[in-house]
Structure 1
Amino acid sequence: MTTVKIAAVQAAYILMDQKACLEKAAELLRQAAAAGAGIVVFPEAFIPGTPIWIDSRPIWDGDDDWYALLVEQAVTVPGPITDALAAAAGETGTYLVIGVNEREPHGTTIYNTTLYFGPDGTLLGKHRKLMPTGSERTVWGMGDGSTLPVIDTPYGRLSGLICWENYMPLARFYLYSQGVDIWTAPTLAQGDGWLAAMRHIAHEGRCYVIGVNPCVHIDQIPADFPHRDRVWRAEQEWVEPGNSIIIDPTGKILAGPARHEETILYADIDLAAVHAARRYFDPVGHYHRPDIFQLTVDTSPRPPVIKA
């Protein structure tokens, strides 16, 4: 079988509440699976939500309590949260792609990570964002080339990048070279410019693209959140307005864009359409000139810095 229904889950996280985010993700996964989805994609950093104070407060201006909460609520991989997510994927028989704030079991540096789970209830891979954007660098560390997985599925090869990583030409080309057919782009990016980039990647890579955002209204910041009156500017009604979209390998929009609502976008995809689109343009095949252009990628883990 080369056809499958895919789902982009545009939902609100429960800010810095790991357990509540997990429970909501599991329920939405069941809902998408009940609608027939075989691949379900959640937004960037969905568990336990975006550290929104980085865009509403001056850097390091009294964010100690918030950062401590982020460390406390972050996900270890593997760990209890990944076990629960794997079980949910197995229960629903779906491929699950979801963004988390990750940390090492005994570390306090946070990574913006995408996790991939299989319908057999296993963790198939993880990707740490290579380069946090702007103020994100005050809370998220940098990933390395060891976490650039491409997942084999019966419907095509599944991979992707996080948010503005999708603007990195060499990162895109590397994944194209690994034969990605279904491209996931969990993101916080807003506006029509982002949608144009998603259409470009679909057209350039001749792949399906699933761009998926959270959607959070200011009223959805928990009432008991520490220093709630300071964590977000009251005049900005939408913390995350959404911007989710699904695109086919020719750049045609199949679903969305969705904004200002929690919703699940669906589309039926067919691997044959990927193959047909590459008849005209294959960025790493007949339309590539390896005699002129070469890319070297270091896929080894970055070693820790240790001083004697």
Structure 2
Amino acid sequence: MTRIYISQRPPHLLDLDAGIATAKAEIEAAAAQGADLVVFPETWLGGYPAWVFGLAGWNDPEARHWFQKLVAASATVPGPHVQALCDAARDNGVCVVIGLNERARPSAALLYNSALTIDADGSIVSVHRKLTPTHTERLVWTPGDADGLRVNETAAGRVGAMVCWEHFHPIIRQALHAEDEQIHVALWPDMPSAHQLASRHYAFEGRCFVASAATYLPVEAVPPDLRAAYEKGTGGDASFPGGSGVIGPDGEYLVGPVFGDAPVICDLDLAQTIAFKHDLDVTGHYSRSDILHWGVDRPGTRYGEQGRSDYRSK
């Protein structure tokens, strides 16, 4: 059995050092619970910039102010902050998938919405950059490349990750289904019914387990000076309620959705990903690859080598 632990500890908005400290504590707590894989939600490290939905005008000094803060709170891969996470994964013998604001290089203002996968030996196995930032997210994040759009062999199993509304894109889903994914990590900022639906559909379609991770962010966890800008984006009380859960390859919840700050812990029998393909296998007997064709272009980074960290260590 493989044990998964989804953290719902509130993120530290725009505070990278505090985020690393909390992530390390959560990794240790998960290991103490016997976890093999520890998951954090979308852009948990640095925080989700919800203000972009309300501050989308030209020459907006407030938007520029918060963008500058976000860049300063974004980690490079590799880099000292990410290395601290790698050390924590190695020291506790667990795999980690964490959403982060990724800075292309220390001198750049170029940011990605990324999912970082670290193996239990502390090595970085993947950085998936969200291919298309959604709507006004494009004010802060750059479109990603397909280099990280892969399923990775880890100590916890064959693990893939996608970010938010990528789950509504059929070809992006198929790219991971085709690589025999056992555990899919779905990173979300929150968990309305549409996100639950997408997570459940992914599990059913791919015949895999889905760790659906959403942020728990109470109002008091939003820095006072950021709260007004955050509310312009959320349209409410500047909070996210959580709602993480684990879904089986039949599309049904095994645990959750859990709202609040409690972690989600679930044991997975990975052999079930084979059993459920008896009746539906979208890359096997149900694929019709003789008449249906698709592909992924992985030529390298879209913005040149200077914009792509050389993170691969194995």
TM-score for the superposition, normalised by structure 2: 0.91
Q: Which residue of 2 aligns with 1:123?
A: 124
SS at match of 1:142: coil
8 Å CA contact 1:26, 1:88 repeated in 2? yes
8 Å CA contact 1:147, 1:299 repeated in 2? no
Does the alignment pair 1:240 with 2:240?
yes
Q: Which residue of 2 aligns with 1:76?
A: 76
Does the alignment pair 1:262 with 2:261?
yes
Does the alignment pair 1:196 with 2:197?
yes
Does the alignment pair 1:182 with 2:187?
no
CA distance in 2, matches of 1:116, 1:91: 16
- AA aligned to 1:6 is I
* Runs of 5+ unmatched residues, structure 1: none
CA distance in 2, matches of 1:91, 1:170: 37
SS at match of 1:47: coil
Q: Which residue of 1 aligns with 2:10?
A: 12
CA distance in 2, matches of 1:267, 1:191: 21
8 Å CA contact 1:98, 1:114 repeated in 2? yes
8 Å CA contact 1:48, 1:74 repeated in 2? yes
Q: Which residue of 2 aligns with 1:34?
A: 32
Q: RMSD across aligned C-alpha pairs, in angstroms? A: 1.8
CA distance in 1, matches of 2:230, 2:273: 44
C-alpha displacement at 1:304, in angstroms?
A: 2.9
Change (3 A) 1:74 1:210: same
CA distance in 1, matches of 2:304, 2:122: 35
8 Å CA contact 2:8, 2:214 repeated in 1? yes
Change (3 A) 1:15 1:207: same
Q: Tell me how many residue pairs correspond in the alignment.
A: 301
- AA aligned to 1:280 is D
* Runs of 5+ unmatched residues, structure 2: 306-314
TM-score for the superposition, normalised by structure 1: 0.93
Q: Which residue of 1 aligns with 2:310?
A: none
Cα-to-partner distance string for 1:136-194 (whole Å, 9 max, x where unaligned):
11111000112213211344310021010011100111111111110000111431222
8 Å CA contact 1:82, 1:123 repeated in 2? no
SS at match of 2:46: coil
- AA aligned to 1:206 is R
8 Å CA contact 1:163, 1:189 repeated in 2? no
CA distance in 2, matches of 1:10, 1:84: 20
Change (3 A) 1:126 1:222: same
8 Å CA contact 1:89, 1:117 repeated in 2? yes
User: What aligned pairs does 1:1-308 form with structure 2 within 5 A after superposition?
Assistant: 3-59=1-57, 61=60, 62-105=62-105, 106-223=107-224, 225=225, 228-233=227-232, 236-259=236-259, 261-304=260-303
Of stretches 188-197 and 288-297 in structure 1, the one that deviates more from structure 2 is 188-197
C-alpha displacement at 1:239, in angstroms?
A: 2.2
Cα-to-partner distance string for 1:196-251 (whole Å, 9 max, x where unaligned):
2211111110000011011111211124x4x5444425972242222211001111
CA distance in 2, matches of 1:116, 1:182: 12
8 Å CA contact 2:20, 2:81 repeated in 1? yes
- AA aligned to 1:11 is R
- AA aligned to 2:141 is W
Change (3 A) 1:239 1:249: same
8 Å CA contact 2:144, 2:302 repeated in 1? no
Change (3 A) 1:177 1:305: closer
8 Å CA contact 1:245, 1:256 repeated in 2? yes
CA distance in 1, matches of 2:200, 2:50: 27
CA distance in 2, matches of 1:252, 1:48: 32
- AA aligned to 1:50 is Y
CA distance in 2, matches of 1:270, 1:37: 14
